[in-house]
Structure 1
Amino acid sequence: MGFALRDHTADIAVEATGDSITDVFASVADGLAAASCDDIPAATGERFSLSVTAENREALLFDYLDELIYLRDVRAELPVDHHVEHIDRSDADGSTDTSTAEWSLTATARGVPLTEIDAREVKAVTYSEMQLEFIDEHWNAYVVFDV
């Protein structure tokens, strides 16, 4: 399983698959890193943790990728080597009403200083054509990024 970069008019897309939802989220994030940089140094950068919450699975994927882009900008590091540790759906207010459910994610990544790489700017993640679905025993995702 893994990811592939796809041309998309003036943007770039990542198509990813995984055996689990955590695998496909991490693969899309690895695709975001690959869209940002051709050669990622193996031995530099420290691992950091992050967590994200959202109202549904697709919003969680969007918000996770958006947070990685934000962290790249504020930390001046390209997040790479993504590991999504946990994705969970919980009822936000304790009721049985699934419309109040909240999705959460915990993950880690390694931050490679931007001064050590030749990075291209990926401006934003988009909802344009976003797909996240379970098909034939695998999770599949397709995400377009604004470059």
Structure 2
Amino acid sequence: MSFTLREHTADVAVEAAGDSLGDVFAAVADGLTAAMCDEVADTGDRFSLSVRAESREAALFDYLDELIYERDVRGVLPADHDATVRQEGDEWVVEASARGVPFDDVTARDVKAVTYSEMRLEESDAGWDAYVVFDV
């Protein structure tokens, strides 16, 4: 599981890869963390979250959007992501957790929102690849 930050016109993009769908979701989330903070402290407690959506892409969007929401509500930087993704009938379900690093322990930049702009989520021979643009 890996990610790379990519420059994007006035925004930041994350290109990620993972062996499974859950791995690539977590890798994109790790990229989101890296876009917000250069050095992440080892502090904070884990929290869980769950999202349901009508497609894999919508599930990825909603998962990342929920992480930004949790950041704002909890006052923490979500880090060290873990995610499991499965299909239940017509819905995609993401069960995930992250470590919430208190803002007092990091110097964080603001990422305003996840976007659908240029979003890609594709299965490859090596697993899964994703590309997501964030509004900064």
Q: Matches of residues 121-140 of structure 1 in structure 2 within 5 Å?
A: 121-140=110-129
Partner of 2:107: 118
What's the CA shift for 1:124? Answer: 0.1
Residues 1:53 and 2:52 aligned together: yes
Partner of 1:87: 85
Q: SS in structure 2 opposite 1:112?
A: strand
Whole-angstrom CA distance in 2 between matches of 1:62 and 1:88: 15
Amino acid in the other structure paired with 2:135: D
Amino acid in the other structure paired with 1:59: A
Q: Return the TM-score normalized by structure 2.
A: 0.98
What's the CA shift for 1:137? Answer: 2.7
Amino acid in the other structure paired with 2:8: H
Whole-angstrom CA distance in 2 between matches of 1:135 and 1:108: 25
Residue by residue over 1:36-93, the C-alpha shift from the partner in whole angstroms, topping out at 9 and shown as x without a partner, is 0000012x00001110000000000000000000000000001000011x211112xx
Partner of 1:4: 4
Whole-angstrom CA distance in 2 between matches of 1:89 and 1:74: 28
Superposition misfits of 4+ residues, deviation over 6 angstroms: none
**Structure 2: runs of 5 or more not aligned:** none
Whole-angstrom CA distance in 2 between matches of 1:143 and 1:87: 17
Q: SS in structure 2 opposite 1:41?
A: coil
Residues 1:75 and 2:64 aligned together: no
Q: SS in structure 2 opposite 1:30?
A: helix
* Alignment RMSD: 0.7
Residue by residue over 1:10-58, the C-alpha shift from the partner in whole angstroms, topping out at 9 and shown as x without a partner, is 000000001111100000000000000000012x000011100000000
Q: Return the TM-score normalized by structure 1.
A: 0.91
Q: Percent identity?
A: 65
